[in-house]
Amino acid sequence: MRRLVIPLFLFLFASHLSAASRVVLLSIDAASDVILDRLLANGALKGGAFERMTRRGAVAASMTPAAVSSTPVSHPTLFTGAWPAAHGITGVAIPGDDLGGDLQSGFAVATAVPRLWNIAQEAGKRVVCIAAPGAEATSPQTTCTRTAPFNAVAKAGQAAIDGLGPSPGAPSAAPATTGQITEEEYVAREERFADYLSAAVKQELARSDWDLLIVYIPLIDGLEHRYLLADPRQVEYGDEDGARRKRFAQFIERGYRTMDAILGSWFAASPETDFVVVSDHGMIPTHSVVLLNNLLAAGGLRAGGGDAQVRAISSGASAQVYVNAKSRFAHGTVDDADVPAVTAKIVAILRAFRDPITGRAVFRTVASGQELAALHLQNAHTGDVYLSAQPGWGVTGRYDPAVPVIVPSTLSPDARARVSRSPAERQFLEKGGHNELSAGVHGHRPGDPRIQAIFYATGPDVPRRKLGTVAMVDVAPTVLRLLKIAPPPFMVGRSLF
């Protein structure tokens, strides 16, 4: 009898190892490595999913995003295992043929190399995408085996996912910014949308007809933009004798607790599944915003109107400035021979710009030409000059000569009313976007720990391992390794286990 037991055990063990894995890749927008580490250390997430992953899974010290640490750039980097120079999405928005015309969203621009769902499907795997950035089902390249596009899921009342009923919708920032709803209601709306996406995942976990599930949840991003009140220079820092700061911090902690509970419910629903949990960037508290096109105009360049020489297009705390060259744009105004001189003037203006309080340079990095290659940004979509602000500063590409070059960064109606120096400035602040004039901003060049992303993994095929600092390009090769698919040659990242 003993002779039969041992071979049978070995057969079952070998069968387990060779069984096809299935993988969930979750991107938690703006999950901050620094904030998550702090919440784990102080016991706020004790006994939860993140703590479980630190004990049983593979966890990175932090994950370094691309030079433009924003959602439309980070996700192609996560999904292709290549930097923006290769995949081609180099900013939150990219100009079309006419520099003065409408911008193309980075979410809608095709990547120059295949993304994870393309590669997995080509290898015969079945892929489900739920709100995954770039998986909008508008072309074969943007379509998974089953696709619930973010643009559909984010619409309130849209029956975007079979079996779940209408979506509550992704909350708009405008009602809270204009005071139409309370901050508490805004948080509740973010939570309802996260719960809807979680229910969609749990519905998929109960099925067996997929190999890779990619899902994106923007809960943390929506909260940190509005409530990351942690810099004494922020106009709201001392409001309500510090009670506002405490309340805002609780909103953010509540978001992490919600995500922790969501993950715990997924683990319980499908213990045989491998989970890879990442974010696209962290977040930095921000006190001031520079109107870049106003700054360039003040320096003597034409930055607005049909005859503009330059246009700055922002990505939170970084931006790219494009010279309106006749050979590059349909209505170009700058001769090719003059492009180097205009570029040099842009660089000089940006490098000379100083913080009026400290006297220090506002821009940490100002790069052009071959310097872009070192940032993995050298691509036909990239501007002539890349800049990244120092922590505490954001930038905007909106041009308004009636508004000062520097404005305070706030989305709160009472703070806006208090600090606005003119009706034009008040209107400008009221129209501020979440990654433009908010308390928390991202888009910085990596370097500050607060902009670092997270990498956690757990499951039957994931080793218990403490990883050092990893790169965003390592995610796709790691997922492919779990799926037993060889990574294509263009991937510059490496499997982390």
SS3 label, residue 352: helix
Distance CA 322, CA 90 (A): 13
Q: What is the DSSP letter of 474?
A: G
Residue 160, phi then psi, degrees to nearest 5: -85, -25
Position 414 scores a pLDDT of: 96
Report the distance separating Cα 154 and Cα 128, nearest Å: 17
Which pLDDT belongs to residue 6?
Answer: 32
Interacting residues of 6 by C-beta distance below 8 A, sequence separation 6+? none
pLDDT tens string, the chain, 497 residues long: the values are 333 333 333 333 333 334 568 999 999 999 999 999 999 999 999 999 999 999 999 999 999 999 999 999 999 999 999 999 999 999 999 999 999 999 999 999 999 999 999 999 999 999 999 999 999 999 999 999 999 999 999 999 998 898 999 999 999 999 999 999 999 999 999 999 999 999 999 999 999 999 999 999 999 999 999 999 999 999 999 999 999 999 999 999 999 999 999 999 999 999 999 999 999 999 999 999 999 999 999 999 999 888 999 999 999 999 999 999 999 999 999 999 999 999 999 999 999 999 999 999 999 999 999 999 999 999 999 999 999 999 999 999 999 999 999 999 999 999 999 999 999 999 999 999 999 999 999 999 998 999 999 999 999 999 999 999 999 999 999 999 999 999 999 999 999 99
CA distance 231 to 39: 19
Give residue 12's pLDDT: 33
**Which residues are within 8 A (CB) of 133 and not within 5 positions of it... i.e. 6 or more apart?**
27, 71, 72, 75, 107, 150, 216
The superfamily (CATH) of domain 21-283+448-482 is Alkaline Phosphatase, subunit A (3.40.720.10)
Buried b (16+ CB within 10 A) or exposed e, 15-49: eeeeeebbbbbbbbbbbbbbbbbebbeeeebeebb
d(CA 195, CA 198): 5
Long-range interactions of 203-206: CB distance < 8 A, separation 24+: 203/161, 203/163, 203/164, 204/128, 204/130, 205/24, 205/266, 205/269, 205/270, 205/273, 206/269
DSSP-assigned beta bridge partners for residue 354 = 361
pLDDT at 255: 98
Query: Could you state, in order of their start, the residue ranges of all structural domains in the chain?
Result: 21-283+448-482, 288-441
Q: What is the DSSP letter of 21?
A: P
Which pLDDT belongs to residue 305? 84
Q: Which of 415, 417, 394 is nearest to 406 (CA)?
A: 394
Identify the CA nearest to 365 among candidates 393, 404, 340: 393
CATH 3.30.1360 fits 288-441, yes or no: yes
* Cα–Cα distance for residue pair 302/219, rounded to 1 Å: 39
Q: Torsion angle of alpha carbons 289, 452, 382, 492, nearest 10°?
A: 180
Phi-psi sector, 368: left (phi>0), alpha (psi -120 to 50), beta: beta
The residue type of 465 is R
Q: What is the token pair recorded at 475?
A: 């995610």
Global model pTM greater than 0.85: yes
Spatial distance between the Cα atoms of 397 and 408, rounded to a whole number of angstroms:
15
